[in-house]
Structure 1
Amino acid sequence: MMKFIFMGLSVVILCFMKNVFWMVQNVYYFMMILFMLMPIKGYLIFSLSYIFSCDIISYFLILLSIWISGLMIMASFKIYLKNFHLSLFLMNISFLLLMLICTFSTLNLFMFYLFFEGSLVPVLLLILGWGAQPERIQAGFYLLFYTMIVSLPLLMGIFFIYGEVNSLMIYMVSWGDLSINNILLYFIMLGAFLVKIPMFLVHLWLPKAHLEAPISGSMILAGIMLKLGGYGIIRVLKILSHLNMGLNSYLIMLSMLGGLLVSLMCFFQMDMKALVAYSSVVHMGLMLAGLLTQTCWGVSGAYLVMIGHGLCSSGLFCLVNFNYERLFSRNLMLNKGMLSMMPSLSLWWFMLLSSNMAAPLSLNLLGEIMLISSLVMWSVVLMLLLGLVSFFSAGYSLYLFAFVQQGVSSMNLNNYYLIESREFLLLLLHWVPLNLLFLYSLYTLLT
């Protein structure tokens, strides 16, 4: 793992050179190819050291981080054309990727905390520095304070565990080693991750951050940053498994009820970006509920949904940005009649929205089937809530597609120029892995 971290540091230095916009993206994909060549079988850990390592849980999340970071550069072509602090922009993305790789590959709880909180800084700089909306400072404060309020209790909980066990290595700490097992420790250790997911009631920072962020900020927020919360819960539940069995029912019910309420809120959104952002809260609420059951199918389904949602939601934000660059508005009332203006782009809207509502040949379908099975096995009472959430998830996806694609356009057709080959490639690189991973995961389950 250390060689990939050193490569990440070298990319940060490379960003200060001139005319390296596409070179940085090529280096990212070269890193990803090298990482894919590393052998991994089952749950075996490779590159084991005292600080950094990698197992099957962090393996695909690191691949997703490198993949989305490369697509962020491709989607930010306008920054390249305007040369708006281009070196700082590339350095910011490279530093963010370095923080994400370190977060997913560390075995030490304190190091994990440092990298987990350190990844907040580049995202905040993306919103404040390259966000085009006037309320980006307020969105930055939302993101900062929601995260920082719960980060100090997490640090105190990590120090308490170190005082009890004299070790911060994740695989060397278990709930039986702790002398105090109470509700406070459970919520202190999970609080920062619940905000990062985000869970219902602490989710208000996410739509605000998405609305004010540039396309690269929205892609990394939806693609990777929300997955940090799920990854942290997977690691911490190993330590708090005994407490979780007695307290998870409250969080599961809150996540499912919150998912139902937020899915209804999606029908009242007039901003396309806000609708996609709220749909992320619905999917992450379902993911959290399945993860807290601590069953094999629940954890596996949550992991598949994290990977699938990272690709699908990032692609949807790209589509919304394509409309915004042409019509200078994200309002649903103004973005109408696209089917007659740009049929090829309408096809991509259909494919990504069908993946968003877990249609066949999508990784989200396999993940949600496993999540629904685990939650129904956990409690039959959840069957009604699961049915409603699934129904409304399909409903707001179809609502967005029908409202944007059909009808009569209220804008001048001269404002709508043809789609570029770069944009087709960007959407293709979101959609193809989303469906190939479904076939690979299905083959793995059947064999």
Structure 2
Amino acid sequence: MIFYMIFMIPLIFMNLIVIIQYSFFLILLLLFVKNFEFFFCNLSYLFGLDYFSYWLIVLTFYITCLMYLCCMSFSLSMSLCYLIFVNFSLSFFLYLVFCFLNYLFMYMFFEFSLVPLFIIIMGWGYQPDRLISGLYLFFYTLFASLPLFLFLIYVYDIYGSLFFDYSYGVSFSFFIHLVSVFAFMVKLPLFMFHFWLPKAHVYSPIFGSMVLAGILLKIGGYGIIRFMFMYEYIFNNYSYLWYSLSLFGSLLVSLICLIQGDIKCLIAYSSVAHMGLSLMGMLTMTKTGLVGSYFMMIGHGLCSSALFCLSNISYERFVSRSFYLNKGLITFMPSVCLFWFIFCSFNMSCPPSFNFLSEIYIIISMMMFWGGSGFYFLLISFISAFFSFYLFSYSNHGIFHNSYCFSFVTLREYFLCFLHLVPIIYLIMIVDLFF
């Protein structure tokens, strides 16, 4: 599959964007026919798949296909070739992150994935402020992940191996715990380390926001799951610290969502709240919590990506992301209003979405971890419903701002929304595949 992707590169510079998209759909078909019933399947040298990586790889390729659907709105110029190449290299690095069975290589491609995203924000982002947001993203991630690199060198020096299934003894050092999870907490992002995320979202183009919300935030969760198996006792001892911060942070960020004046900013902050819930499920260290947080990562990846697409549909017509100008869309774009309603409902985890199932698993695991967290969970869910209602009603109802002209929604945009919607509903029907 790696060679398959490498040999796709000449297609990029021939402006064959549709063939590239079909090639990614073919990769998805190849993944679906693979047998992944074993703990590690399709082992070869440093590569392998298990339950944690399989669905994230599927999500990576699926979001990549949808990104190419967004790129079709660009004119067929030379810059489009470079744009497709940057998107392609980003999806390739992400695929390698989820495929490696070695901590060091996983870390390397975890860092490499930052470079294409930085180029996307700098090259195709909005407004001069994108320069500051790109630096925020770069330095936050770099500052947090360098200690992890030194820690991996230290572990390799002692044990001579960095494979996932190797026994690394027992440690109770808080410093080791902090270094091993800090990089992934910033990427997730955990509350207090999330300041780069709204900036990166607001100033990045639509495909940058899609890949950032859909896949890159999930690397943080994936890394925490992997390192959780490295030193389990440390996580047992110290997870209550991150659990408390995440519980408090998700509640606070949900309230921050209610005072946003920018649509993309609100969706970005809602990502912080949802990934905080996902982190709480992981830190309970129960199978229920782990499954719930994994479901949340996949469901949120599709739902959040769809909301960014919808905000971009409005932005392309009104040249503004402000709530005060994006009003009355139900009168002028009633068909898109249906998608707004569905995805805002799914964002607050209404059935029959995959997010609904994930929140049930997460609340069960949280109640097992600490009984008092049920009260906080209800508050977070309640305020999440509030800001989702706020997002839908403020943008779709009210008096339309008449100083802007209206243009029809294209078939490509309907198709993009529909392709986000189908998996969220369909995954809940095939949930037995995850066990």
Q: TM-score, normalised by structure 1?
A: 0.95
- Choose the corresponding residue for 1:74, options 69, 75, 80: 69
CA distance in 1, matches of 2:44, 2:175: 32
Write out aligned runs for 1:173-322 (5 A): 173-174=167-168, 177-178=169-170, 180-322=171-313
CA distance in 2, matches of 1:69, 1:169: 28
Q: CA deviation at 1:149?
A: 0.2
Instruction: Count residues in correspondence.
Output: 435
Instruction: Name the aligned partner's letter for residue 370 of structure 1.
Output: Y
Contact 2:263-2:323 at 8 Å conserved across structures: yes
| Residue 20 (structure 1) aligns with | 16
CA distance in 1, matches of 2:127, 2:201: 11
CA distance in 2, matches of 1:161, 1:49: 23
Q: CA deviation at 1:438?
A: 1.2
CA distance in 1, matches of 2:364, 2:183: 27
Contact 1:11-1:94 at 8 Å conserved across structures: no
Which 5+ residue runs of structure 2 have no aligned equivalent? Answer: none
| Residue 354 (structure 1) aligns with | 345
What secondary structure sits across from 1:332 in the alignment?
A: coil
Q: CA deviation at 1:49?
A: 2.4
Which 5+ residue runs of structure 1 have no aligned equivalent? Answer: none
Q: What per-residue deviation string (whole Å, max 9, x for no partner) do you get for residues 346-367 of structure 1?
A: 0000011111100001000000
| Residue 79 (structure 2) aligns with | 85
Residues 1:55 and 2:50 aligned together: yes
Residues 1:364 and 2:355 aligned together: yes
CA distance in 2, matches of 1:205, 1:399: 24
Contact 1:305-1:364 at 8 Å conserved across structures: yes
| Residue 40 (structure 2) aligns with | 45
What secondary structure sits across from 1:218 in the alignment?
A: helix
Contact 1:348-1:427 at 8 Å conserved across structures: yes
Q: TM-score, normalised by structure 2?
A: 0.98
| Residue 59 (structure 2) aligns with | 64
Q: CA deviation at 1:136?
A: 0.7
Counterparts in 2 of 1:268 and 1:317: CA distance versus 1, 3 Å? same
CA distance in 2, matches of 1:197, 1:168: 23
- Choose the corresponding residue for 1:129, options 123, 133, 154: 123
Contact 1:76-1:215 at 8 Å conserved across structures: no
- What percent of counterpart residues are identical? 40
What secondary structure sits across from 1:53 in the alignment?
A: strand
CA distance in 1, matches of 2:239, 2:78: 47
Q: CA deviation at 1:82?
A: 5.8
RMSD of the alignment, in Å? 1.3
Counterparts in 2 of 1:444 and 1:96: CA distance versus 1, 3 Å? closer
Instruction: Name the aligned partner's letter for residue 203 of structure 2.
Output: E
Structure 1 runs (4+) greater than 4 angstroms displaced: none
What secondary structure sits across from 1:78 in the alignment?
A: coil
| Residue 11 (structure 1) aligns with | 8
Contact 2:304-2:347 at 8 Å conserved across structures: yes
CA distance in 2, matches of 1:201, 1:54: 33
Select between 212-221 and 377-386 the one with higher mean Cα deviation.
377-386
Q: CA deviation at 1:162?
A: 1.2
Write out aligned runs for 1:99-118 (5 A): 99-118=93-112
